[in-house]
């Protein structure tokens, strides 16, 4: 097995109150609706007082392999400005995929009304039965998927809020 990784950081201003965005980003059902490639998020417990979310992704084909990532993340909420998440597989289990990252929400309301500066950072890792030499090809696929997911997430978020990106 070889571990392959892809990362993405994005930011933008959303014409909505920070509390509204917070509500969407901390609700598993809403986050699932907004995020393409995400089939389901289930709350499966807690660790050190923070909820554990089990994420189930849609299938992705990578160099002839069909991969359907599932992973468990410890969600650390600092309302209403920060969400951090890190891989936290259940004791005694091994998950072949993981994610880690954060969301930052900053109020940037102005004369035009409420607005939030939203920053997102994500790193996805997946263990695949491929040689390390396949790294460039696998990274290209992973980066395309993560870019597509980010673009569609943004469009879905604005559609849900009835807003335009700024």
Q: Which residues pair with 21 in a beta bridge?
A: none
Domain limits for position 66: 2-161
| Pairwise CA distance, residues 129 & 44, whole Å | 28
Q: Which residues pair with 101 in a beta bridge?
A: 85, 122
Per residue in 110-136, pLDDT tens?
Answer: 999 999 999 999 999 999 999 999 999
Residue numbers of the chain with a pLDDT score lower than 50: none
Go through 19-56 and write b for each residue having 16 or more CB atoms within 10 A of its CB, e for each that does not: ebbbebbbebeebeebbbebeebeeeeebeebbbbbbe
Is residue 166, in this structure, part of any structural domain at all? no
Is residue 35, in this structure, part of any structural domain at all? yes
Q: How far is Cα of residue 165 from the mean position of the Cα atoms in its chain?
A: 19
21 conformational bin, left if phi > 0, alpha if psi -120 to 50, beta if neither: alpha
Q: What is the pLDDT of residue 60?
A: 86
Q: What is the pLDDT of residue 165?
A: 58
| Pairwise CA distance, residues 122 & 112, whole Å | 30
Task: With beta carbons less than 8 A apart as the criterion, state whether 79 and 66 touch.
Answer: no
Is residue 118, in this structure, part of any structural domain at all? yes
User: How many domains does the chain contain in total?
Assistant: 1
The domain spanning residue 48 has which CATH number?
3.30.530.20
Q: What is the pLDDT of residue 63?
A: 86
Is residue 28, in this structure, part of any structural domain at all? yes
Question: DSSP code of 153?
Answer: H
Q: What is the pLDDT of residue 11?
A: 95
Q: How far is Cα of residue 58 from the mean position of the Cα atoms in its chain?
A: 13
């Amino acid at each position: 097995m070889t571990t392959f990784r892809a990362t993405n950081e994005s930011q933008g201003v959303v014409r909505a109150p920070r509390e509204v965005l917070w509500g969407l980003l901390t609700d598993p059902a809403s986050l699932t609706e907004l995020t393409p490639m995400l089939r389901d998020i289930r709350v499966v417990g807690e660790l050190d007082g923070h909820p554990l979310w089990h994420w189930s992704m849609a299938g992705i084909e990578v160099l002839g392999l069909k991969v359907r990532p599932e992973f468990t993340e410890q969600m650390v909420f600092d309302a209403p400005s920060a969400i951090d998440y890190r891989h936290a597989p259940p004791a005694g289990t091994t998950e072949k995929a993981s994610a880690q990252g954060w969301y930052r929400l900053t109020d940037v309301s102005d004369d035009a009304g409420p607005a939030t500066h939203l920053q997102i950072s994500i790193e996805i890792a997946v263990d695949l039965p491929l040689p390390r030499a396949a790294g460039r090809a696998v990274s290209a696929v992973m980066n395309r998927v993560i870019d597509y997911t980010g673009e569609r997430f943004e469009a879905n978020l604005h559609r849900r809020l009835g807003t335009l990106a700024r």
